Amino acid sequence: MIYEAPVNIAAIGPYVLSPLPFAYGALAPVIDAETMELHHLKHHQAYIDGVNAVLAGHPQWLGLTIEEVLRRLPELPEEIRETVRHQGGGHANHQFFWKTLTPGGKGRPSGALLAAIDRDFGSYPRFKAAFEAAGLTHFGSGWAFLVCRPYQNFRLEIITLANQDSIHSLAEAAHGLLACDLWEHAYYLRYRNRRADWLKAWWDIVHWDSVAERLDCIRQGRRQS
């Protein structure tokens, strides 16, 4: 199937690296400034450069957000599909990841979010343990996500994906609520090989208010920022 691109839409791409809403050192001691700067300026930028380079020859796709491109991955020409999956996925995953972090953390699950966590995981401590276990047992590079399944009564689910695979490319709709980067580049300078320590420390910088807002948007069918 070939995507028949609209021709008169304003171009969204080439994609660009958005500045972070906090300084590189602001997440310390959980994430040190050097890791954050490398992660954002080098790793994330490289994924953006990679997807822009491959889509430069297929500019109609640059009229879509990266999330929409990833949703329509099977419609992409086969010769660029894998590159877009990896590079475009890397761009989308990091763009989302930054939104889930805030200096010192913000809020704790409460209200409707806590009720959903209790319903689907038993309790907040059990959810945390399950998320850490999923991240720890995921083999190799990838991501751990908390997602909401809109067609399963808005059920919350923990999933891990390999490499830079995207929740937007999943066969069944899953909206992202929270993500933790399991690539060594996310934690190696400070935590070395101790992914378990990274997963435990990471809770302290989770932006729970944004998670709650995202769940609210999903349930109301509103467009997410």
Q: Which residues of the chain form contacts with Mn ion (CB under 5 A)?
A: 181, 183, 186
Q: Which is nearer to Mn ion, 131 or 183 (CB)?
A: 183
Q: Helices 111-121 and 124-137 sit at what angle, rounded to 10 degrees?
A: 60
Which residue lies nearer to Mn ion by CB, 127 or 183?
183
CB of 154 to Mn ion, least distance (A): 28
Nearby residues of 78 by Cβ (< 8 Å), 6 or more positions away: none
**43 or 155: CB nearest Mn ion:** 43
Strands 155-162 and 175-181: unpaired
Residue with Cβ nearer Mn ion (132 or 181): 181
The two tokens of residue 47 are: 């994924």
CB of 49 to Mn ion, least distance (A): 15
User: Least Å distance between CB 89 and Mn ion?
Assistant: 11
Residue of minimal CB distance from Mn ion? 181
Minimum Å gap between C-beta 185 and Mn ion is 5
DSSP notation for 72-130: TGGGS-HHHHHHIIIIIHHHHHHHHHHHTB-TT-B----HHHHHHHHHHHSSHHHHHHH
